[in-house]
């Protein structure tokens, strides 16, 4: 089986005024890593994806001056999740794919 968690780029680095958010994402990543070690001998793959800003209508509305061409599309994020769910990622346990686009 496969478990894929979507965390965020902020799981890896803090930023001003986002302490609770970054802490929760970092904690989620540590849980994924720990769970992966607990269940890998049962053949269960537990991994994560950490996208940067996603190109969604709400993000475009909230950041009208930003350049969304640099953001990650929902399809690109889905591709990463599909990869981690495939046989091609059979050696991945506790991995975190950084899906950043060009930001």
Catalytic (active-site) positions:
21
Element (H, E) at 23: helix 19-39
CA separation for the pair 51, 39 (Å, rounded): 25
* Contact (CB, 8 A) for 27 and 71: no
């Amino acid at each position: 089986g496969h478990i894929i968690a979507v965390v965020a780029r902020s799981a890896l680095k803090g930023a001003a005024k986002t302490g609770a958010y970054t802490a929760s994402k970092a904690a989620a990543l540590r849980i994924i890593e720990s769970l992966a070690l607990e269940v890998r001998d049962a053949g269960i793959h537990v991994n994560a994806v950490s996208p940067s800003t996603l190109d969604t209508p709400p993000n475009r509305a909230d950041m009208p001056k930003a350049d969304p061409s640099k953001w990650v599309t929902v399809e690109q994020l889905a591709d990463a999740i599909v990869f981690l769910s495939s046989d091609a990622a059979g050696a991945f346990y506790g991995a975190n794919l950084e899906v950043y686009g060009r930001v």
